Chain A
Amino acid sequence: MDLTGRLVHFWLSPSGKEALGEVISGSKDFEALVVEENGIGLWLWIPDAERESREVTLLKWEYFAAASLEYKPETPRERPPTGFQAPNE
């Protein structure tokens, strides 16, 4: 499942709690927006009290133990074609 753009609730692993203890004030779980994901981990925006900061934080894959998010299977909506057809269609 692609996480970029989703709001996700994370629970840190013991090593993640040690590494990110200062960032999330010692809590073992938190909610964040996934801004980007790559081979190293997830780049997160963790809202502070003011929610004005634009700082993003790298959460390495090994730094979280579990994650949850709202998910519901959806039927693709009817859409018009994107604009042209293949040469022999």
Chain B
Amino acid sequence: MDQSFQVIVNSFVHSPEEWKRILDADVAGAVAQLADEERLVAKRLGVEEREVADKIKAGQYGELKLRAKGLSLGEEAKTILDGLGPNYRLVAVLWENSHARWVLRIKAADSIANVPIPAGLADDVVEAGGEQNLERLKNLVLFGVGRQELIFER
């Protein structure tokens, strides 16, 4: 699918299971890939290179996972907006770690709407799908872009 919107993730999270996978992964390879600057910083901090490598690998993995989730959420939102016509366009999907939510940035005819989507609902939509979860997402998008009159018409 052609991705016409940005997925912006400035932070990431891990489950204990993910941390175990990360720690069991090829740490020696990650250590070998450390940049000189990273080795220097580690030395100044008194942190072992292996621990730094773990964190770097963890960051890359967690961010990738979150980005993938944002992409799927954005594709669902884009489908909803396509149904409203050409005046509505998804510009970006942003992760707000401090609020544990996604924000859909949508360009309407003459304004920008920022539509918050709780992380739990995004997980339900992306991982489980289902008519009711998609309906919940659709309701929030319609309300967010000011087309709430359509919510009770369906």
Residues of chain A touching chain B, judged by Cβ–Cβ distance below 8 Å, are: 2, 4-7, 33, 35-36, 45, 47, 51-52, 54, 71-72, 74-77, 79, 82-84, 86-89
Main secondary structure on A side of the interface with B: loop
Contact partners of B128 in chain A: CB under 8 A: 74, 76-77
* CB atoms of A82 and B146 under 8 A apart: no
- Which size class do B's interface residues fall under? 35 or more
* CB atoms of B68 and A86 under 8 A apart: no
With both chains docked as a complex, state the minimum distance between the C-beta of B29 and any C-beta of chain A, in angstroms. 10
Give the residue name and chain of the B residue nearest to A77 (CB): B129
Residues of chain B touching chain A, judged by Cβ–Cβ distance below 8 Å, are: 18, 21-22, 24-26, 57, 61, 64-65, 67-69, 71-72, 116, 118, 120-121, 124, 126-132, 135-137, 139-140, 143, 146, 148-149, 151-152
CA distance A54 to B57 in the complex (A): 44
Q: A5's contact among B25, B130, B139, by CB below 8 Å, is which?
A: B139
Question: How many residue pairs between the two chains, A and B, have CB atoms under 8 Å in the bound complex?
Answer: 87
CA distance A45 to B146 in the complex (A): 12
Contact partners of A71 in chain B: CB under 8 A: 132
* CB atoms of A4 and B151 under 8 A apart: no
